[in-house]
Structure 1
Amino acid sequence: MGTKSRHLSVHIDRPVAEVYAFASDPANLPRWAPGLGASVTREDGRWYVETPEGRAGLTFAPANDFGVLDHEVRTPSGETVYVPLRAVADGDGTEVVFSLRRGPGMSDADFARDTALVEADLARLKAVLESTE
């Protein structure tokens, strides 16, 4: 049986190349996804974020022309969470699509909480990018 996913999206009134450039830079994560962590650092070519549970590792998809922003988060407990994320051209703007996966044994309440957190992050990404000139 496959994992249940929920696809959450936001339209950003900025060109896809600009959205991709901003969202693909791990150093920008605290500006739009503060729930992941407030401090992002790069050491020996690897990215890390300080979370409430401890230090987590980040691995991002290589730079690409297809808007793929996928990344993996290695939690302090050693679990690896795969995060599918895309920036897709939508006219003169961009649709950002986050595929939220429901983990095994996750309650409806926890899945709803995670959905609300991702929706808030996407709204923050939109606000940050649309406020720049």
Structure 2
Amino acid sequence: MHTNQVLTETISIAASPGTVFDLVSDPRQLPRWAPGVARSVRPDGDDWVLSNGENEARITVRASREHGVVDLLSAQDRGQGVFTRVLPHGDGAEYQFTMFLPADAPDEAIAGQRAVVRGELDTVRALCEEHG
């Protein structure tokens, strides 16, 4: 059994689930809402290569509009990455973001990662709400 720590954050967005899905399922949009992960993005076959200016990472995007699933996974290990859901909520949407951290991750590192994720989700909300 894995003993990874789980970080899950959710944000309410006053925009349609389709608007949220369109933003978060398009890897080319990552520099707009997650610049620490990707300052630039380029397709590579069925995968995407993200560069943050220091490192590159290859991801696979697993998305289903019907189910509201948008997972951004390591192309080398599809059990690693972020698992997200776009859920309808009244006239808007909820965007749920889950990632797994090592069991031995220090509390300060988890708090730092949580702050980064909250900032990214705030940006997703702002981008989606400006486009309705």
The alignment's TM-score, normalised by the length of structure 2, stands at: 0.88
> Matches of 2:101 and 2:70 in 1, distance apart?
19
Closer, same or farther: CA 79–109 of 1 in aligned 2, 3 Å:
farther
> Matches of 1:62 and 1:117 in 2, distance apart?
23
Check if 1:36 corresponds to 2:34.
no
Check if 1:125 corresponds to 2:124.
yes
Partner of 1:46: 47
Which portions of structure 1, spanning 4 or more consecutive aligned residues, are displaced by more than 6 angstroms?
A: none
| Total equivalences in the alignment | 130
Closer, same or farther: CA 92–99 of 1 in aligned 2, 3 Å:
same
Partner of 2:89: 90
**Which blocks of at least 5 consecutive residues in structure 1 are unaligned?**
none
CA-CA distance at 1:64 after TM superposition: 3.6
CA-CA distance at 1:71 after TM superposition: 1.7
Closer, same or farther: CA 7–62 of 1 in aligned 2, 3 Å:
closer
- RMSD over aligned Cα, in angstroms? 1.9
Percent of aligned pairs with the same residue? Answer: 27
Q: Is the 8 A contact 1:8 1:99 kept in 2?
A: yes
CA-CA distance at 1:120 after TM superposition: 0.3
> Matches of 2:101 and 2:44 in 1, distance apart?
31
> Matches of 1:106 and 1:55 in 2, distance apart?
22
Larger deviation, residues 56-65 vs 90-99? 56-65
Check if 1:72 corresponds to 2:81.
no
The alignment's TM-score, normalised by the length of structure 1, stands at: 0.87
> Matches of 1:64 and 1:2 in 2, distance apart?
31
CA-CA distance at 1:49 after TM superposition: 0.5
**Which blocks of at least 5 consecutive residues in structure 2 are unaligned?**
none
CA-CA distance at 1:59 after TM superposition: 0.6
SS of alignment partner, residue 103 of structure 2: coil
CA-CA distance at 1:13 after TM superposition: 0.5
The letter of the residue matching 2:131 is T
CA-CA distance at 1:55 after TM superposition: 1.4
Larger deviation, residues 5-14 vs 60-69? 60-69
* Aligned ranges 1:16-31 → 2 under 5 Å: 16-31=17-32
Partner of 1:15: 16
